[in-house]
Structure 1
Amino acid sequence: MSNRLEDLEIYTLSETFADEIWFIVATWDYFTKDTVGKQLTRAADSISANIAEGFGRYHYKENKNFCYFSRGSLIETKSWIKKSYTRNLITEDQYQTLISKLETVHIKLNAYIKFIGKMSND
């Protein structure tokens, strides 16, 4: 396993995803940003933030726990994206694209959690 967080694919994918959310929310009006926007942005940012915090712990069990927090944030992000679509804040194309990217992050996060579990058994 690399010693650099930036070499971790799940981290860079989740960072890129969070940036995409940020730039969408930045275009919304004040009320929308202040309500749904802040929640959505925080949840999306939390995915990569928890991966980073776990990576920095250098203990497999702690790393895995932070990845579980990350997965919780991922599911929360999915919920806010759904609300954003239902409330006509994003288009159907944006919704489908974001959900598809989030599903990819979810699959790779689960694989990373499984990998960490194998490392802790060594």
Structure 2
Amino acid sequence: MEKKKIETFEDLKVWQKGIELVKQIYLVTKDGELSKDFGLKDQLRRASVSIPTNIAEGFERYSRKEYLNFLNFAKGSAGEVRSLLRVALEVGYLEQEVYAQLYSQAMQLSRMLSNQIQSLNQSLK
């Protein structure tokens, strides 16, 4: 299988997965109890949007070191999403199944970001 050349941040698998998570978070927060808790809903949405946005912003920078910083911000936001999802589960806003699926997506993103961060760290040595 031929690997596609990465020319824009939209080509990055990790960015694409980030957008998918954002879409799922927006769908889940659109209705039900969670939609009425404006603070939690907004924080969850902002944290999820922050993941692909930081990846994109870092990719567009001129230095690998700056890109690395933005990947770290994105990874932090993935952790924030997982924490907020847990809050939503604990207060009864999310079903266990929905929580597990979203948590899994956020964990996958964290792992992908970790791999990219480690790879960039190696190339900067």
> Normalized against structure 2, the TM-score is what?
0.89
1:17 paired residue among 6, 21, 27: 21
Consecutive unaligned residues in structure 1, runs of 5 or more: none
Deviations 1:1-46 (A, max 9, x none): 62211110111001111110011101135531x1210000000110
Counterpart of 1:8 in structure 2 is 12
Structure 1 distance, partners of 2:78, 2:96, is 20
2:115 paired residue among 108, 111, 118: 111
Q: State how 1:1-122 maps to structure 2 within 5 Å.
A: 2-28=6-32, 31-32=36-37, 34-121=38-125
Identity of aligned residues (%): 27
Deviations 1:56-107 (A, max 9, x none): 0031000000111111111111111001101111100001111111111111
Consecutive unaligned residues in structure 2, runs of 5 or more: none
Aligned Cα root-mean-square deviation (Å): 1.4
3-state SS of 1:89 partner: coil
3-state SS of 2:60 partner: helix
> Normalized against structure 1, the TM-score is what?
0.91
Q: Look up the equivalent residue of 1:31 and give its one-letter code.
A: K
